[in-house]
Structure 1
Amino acid sequence: LTVAPKNLPTTLVSADVAANYLTKIYPLTFGQKPNLRSVYLHNNKLTDAGLPDHMFNGSDGVGILIMSSNFLKYVPKNLPKELFRLHLKNNKLEKIPKGAFDNLSSLRELYLHNNYITNDGIDNETFWKLSSLEYLDLSSNNLTQIPRGLPRNIILLHLEKNAIKSIPGMTKLKEIFLSNNKLKLNSVYPGAWKKLANLQLLDLSGNQLSYVPSDLPESLEYIYLQNNQISVIPEDAFESTPNIKGIFLRDNRLTTSRVKETAFAKLKFLQVLDMGAYSESSSTSKREDDISGYNLENDSEQATQNDK
Structure 2
Amino acid sequence: MEDPDFPHPGESLQPPPWACPWRCSCPQADVVDCAGLDLHVLPDNITREARYLSLQNNQLRELPYNELSRLSSLRTLNLHHNFISSEGLPDEAFESLGQLQHLYVAHNKLSVAPQFLPRSLRVADLAANQVTEIFPLTFGEKPALRSVYLHNNQLGNAGLPPNAFRGSEAITTLSLSSNRLSHLPPSLPTSLEQLHLQNNVISKVPRGALSHQTQLRELYLQHNQLTDSGLDATTFSKLRSLEYLDLSHNRLATVPAGLPKALTILHLGRNRIRQVEAARLRGVRGLRYLLLQHNELGATGLPAKALRPLRRLHALHLYGNQLERVPAALPRHLWALLMPHNHVPVGLPGGLHTLHLQRNQLRALEPESWAGLGQLQELRLAHNRLRVGDIGPGTWHELQALQVLDLSHNELSFVPPDLPEALEELHLQGNRISHVGPDAFLSTPRLRALILRSGTCLRGVTKAPGRGIRAHRIVWGVARPLTVAHALLRRANRLHMTSIAEEAFLGLPHLRVVDTADNPEQVLVRLPPTPRHRPRAGGS
TM-score normalised according to structure 1 size:
0.89
Letter of the 1:269 partner, please give it.
Q
Percent of aligned positions that are identical: 40
The reply to whether residue 139 of structure 1 matches residue 248 of structure 2 is: yes
After superposition, give the CA deviation of every residue in 1:115-149 in whole Å (9 maximum; x if it has no partner): 00000111011000000000000000000000011
Residue matched to 1:150: 259
Q: How far, CA to CA, are the matches of 1:80 and 1:136 in structure 2?
A: 18
Higher relative CO (Cα under 8 Å, sequence separation at least 6) belongs to: 1
Aligned-partner Cα distance in 1 for 2:462–2:149: 36
C-alpha distance 117-305 of structure 1, shift in aligned 2 (>3 A): farther
Q: Which residue of 2 aligns with 1:271?
A: 377
The residue number in structure 2 matching 1:233 is 346
Q: Distance in 2 between matches of 1:159 and 1:184?
A: 16
CA pair 290-155 structure 1, distance change in 2 beyond 3 A:
farther
Equivalent pairs counted in the alignment come to 294
How far is 1:114 from its partner? 0.1
Cα separation, partners in 2 of 1:278 and 1:301, compared to 1, 3 Å: farther
Partner of 2:332: 218
1:288 positional shift: 6.5
Q: Residues 129-208 of structure 1 correspond to what in structure 2 (within 5 A)?
A: 129-169=238-278, 170=281, 171-172=284-285, 173-208=287-322
Counterpart code for 1:220: L
Aligned counterparts of 1:224 and 1:141: Cα–Cα separation in 2: 21
What's 1:95 paired with?
204
**How many Å separate the matches in 2 of 1:247 and 1:167?**
22
What amino acid sits opposite 1:178 in the alignment? L
Q: Retained in 1: the 8 A contact 2:304–2:328?
A: no
In structure 2, the CA distance between the partners of 1:51 and 1:251, relative to structure 1 (3 Å rule), is same
Paired residue for 2:155? 46
- Distance in 1, matches of 2:238 and 2:313, equals 22
Q: Which moved further from structure 2: 176-185 or 263-272?
A: 263-272
1:114 lines up with 2:276 in the alignment: no
Distance in 1 between the 2:254 and 2:373 partners? 33
Query: Aligned partners of 1:300, 1:226: CA distance in 2, in Å?
Result: 24
Match of 2:214 among 101, 105, 122: 105
Query: Hey, what does 1:63 align to over in structure 2?
Result: 172
Q: Could you tell me how far apart the structure 2 residues matched to 1:131 and 1:115 are?
A: 23
Distance 1:87 1:227 in 2: 31
- 2:195 is paired with a residue whose SS is strand
Distance across 1 between alignment mates of 2:416 and 2:294: 25
Query: CA offset at residue 193 of structure 1?
Result: 1.3
- SS for the counterpart of 2:300 is helix
**What do residues 221-244 of structure 1 show as CA deviations (whole Å, max 9, x unaligned)?**
0000011112x224xx32xx3x21
Cα deviation, residue 277, structure 1: 2.9
| Contact in 2 for aligned 1:117/1:143 (Cα 8 Å) | yes
* Residues 195/290 of structure 1: CA separation in 2 closer, same or farther (3 Å cut): farther
Does residue 209 of structure 2 align to residue 209 of structure 1? Answer: no
Return the offset for 1:30: 0.2
Contact (CA 8 Å) 2:304, 2:330: kept in 1 or not? no
Letter in 2 for 1:200: H
Partner Cα separation in structure 2 for residue 205 and residue 53 of structure 1: 42
Give, in whole Å, the separation in 2 of the partners of 1:219 and 1:300.
30
Measured on the aligned residues, the alpha-carbon RMSD in Å equals: 2.3
- Is it true that 1:37 corresponds to 2:120 in the alignment? no
The structure that has the greater radius of gyration is 2
d(CA) in 2 for partners of 1:303 and 1:64?
Answer: 29
Per the TM alignment, residue 35 of structure 1 is displaced from its structure 2 partner at its CA by: 0.2
CA distance in 1, matches of 2:198, 2:426: 37
Partner Cα distance (2:249, 2:115) in 1: 35
**C-alpha distance in structure 2 between counterparts of 1:291 and 1:139, whole Å:** 40
**2:369 partner letter:** A
Paired residue secondary structure (1:185): coil
One-letter amino acid of the structure 2 residue matched with residue 24 of structure 1: E
In structure 2, do the counterparts of structure 1 residues 278 and 26 end up closer, same or farther at CA, with 3 Å as the change threshold?
same
Task: Point out where structure 1 has 5 or more consecutive residues left out of the alignment.
Answer: 280-284
Is the Cα–Cα contact under 8 Å of residues 274 and 296 in structure 1 kept in the other structure? no
Q: Helix, strand or coil: the match of 1:192? A: helix
1:253 matched to 2:361? The reply is yes
Mapped to 1, the partners of 2:376 and 2:193 lie a distance apart of: 37
| Mapping for residues 272-291 of structure 1, pairs under 5 Å | 272-278=378-384, 286-287=410-411
